């Protein structure tokens, strides 16, 4: 069987976007990655700052944003506009031929508005379809897509969609064509055994250990959707998933996720 070409998908966290220095280092590491590559970003703090400036109170629940109509307009402007083009322009300066996109562009990501349950997330989108053939075409002509956290429903409605989820769903969809490596890149060195100790990086984390850490409360808040998405990607055939800081892009360090290596 012919070996699939390699593809690296990198999701960068909001704090990396906030710091000019950290963003520059991250994008340098991204540019030096060999082979096809894609980047996914959010922009949480910038969106919070613009919401506050406009008199809109940001609301979060379990690491996810509650998106009302006014907030949707702000996050679309920030994610798909300012933050996306800032990343794309810096990648171009580094010699990486990037193209900035939302899920609506080229019908790349279709989603539906999340049904109201115990929590009403407002205009939050849950992904139905990733247009893998379209993304494959972009990658094959040498472009590096840079996706923001905005999707659409195909009926004209834009939706705010968790960037960790976008990265995982893209990774899963593109396994048909590529050997996909997924990196969740943020300001920490990896998943920490002790949130108060920056040196307590867990080098390898399986699902059993994740559930134990979740129950103990050492793994919580925004790390939960990240790890839920990461393990879903592994279970769907993604070759590898790492969580770590920008340096981990060069070393494949940080926390390497694995399917269960033991039983409860």
Alpha carbon distance 91, 28 (integer Å): 8
Report the chain's mean pLDDT, rounded to a whole number: 92
Which H/E stretch holds residue 132? helix 132-140
For residue 65, pLDDT beyond 90 = no
Tens digit of pLDDT for each residue in 177-202? 999 999 999 999 999 988 889 999 99
Q: Which fold has domain 6-258?
A: Carbamate kinase (3.40.1160)
Q: Enter the pTM of the model.
A: 0.93
Residue corresponding to tokens 């996050």: 75
Lowest model confidence (mean pLDDT) among 61-75, 77-91, 131-145, 168-182: 61-75
Say if residues 257 and 206 touch (Cβ distance below 8 Å).
yes
* Exposure b/e, 128-161, CB count within 10 A at least 16 = b: ebbbbeebbebbeeebbbbbbbbbbbeeeebbbb
Tens digit of pLDDT for each residue in 203-213? 999 999 999 98
The helix, strand and coil proportions of the chain, stated in percent and rounded to the nearest 5, come to 40, 25, 35
Question: Whats the size of the chain, residue-wise?
Answer: 264
Tens digit of pLDDT for each residue in 121-178? 999 999 999 999 999 999 999 999 999 999 999 999 999 999 999 999 999 999 999 9
């Amino acid at each position: 069987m012919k070996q699939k070409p390699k593809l690296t998908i990198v999701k960068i966290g909001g704090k990396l976007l906030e710091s000019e220095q950290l963003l520059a280092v991250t994008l340098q590491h991204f540019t030096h990655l060999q082979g096809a590559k894609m980047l996914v970003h959010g922009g949480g703090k910038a969106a919070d700052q613009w919401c506050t400036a406009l008199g809109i109170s940001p609301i979060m629940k379990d690491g996810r944003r509650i998106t009302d109509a006014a907030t949707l307009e702000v996050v679309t402007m920030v994610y798909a506009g300012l933050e996306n083009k800032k990343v794309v322009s810096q990648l171009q300066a580094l010699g990486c031929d990037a193209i900035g996109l939302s899920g609506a562009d080229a019908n790349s990501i279709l989603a539906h508005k999340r049904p109201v349950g115990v929590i009403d997330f407002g205009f939050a989108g849950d992904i139905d379809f990733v247009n893998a053939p379209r993304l494959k075409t972009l990658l094959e002509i040498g472009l590096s897509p840079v996706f923001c956290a905005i999707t659409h429903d195909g009926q004209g409605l834009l939706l705010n969609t968790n960037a960790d989820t976008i990265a995982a769903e893209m990774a899963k969809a593109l396994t048909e064509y590529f050997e996909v490596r997924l990196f969740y890149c943020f300001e920490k060195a990896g998943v920490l055994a002790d949130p108060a100790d920056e040196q307590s990086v867990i080098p390898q984390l399986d699902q059993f250990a994740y559930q134990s850490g979740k129950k103990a409360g050492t793994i919580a808040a925004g790390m939960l959707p990240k790890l839920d998405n990461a393990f879903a990607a592994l279970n769907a055939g993604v070759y590898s998933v790492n969580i770590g800081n920008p340096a981990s892009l060069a070393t494949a360090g940080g926390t390497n996720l694995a399917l269960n290596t033991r039983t409860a």
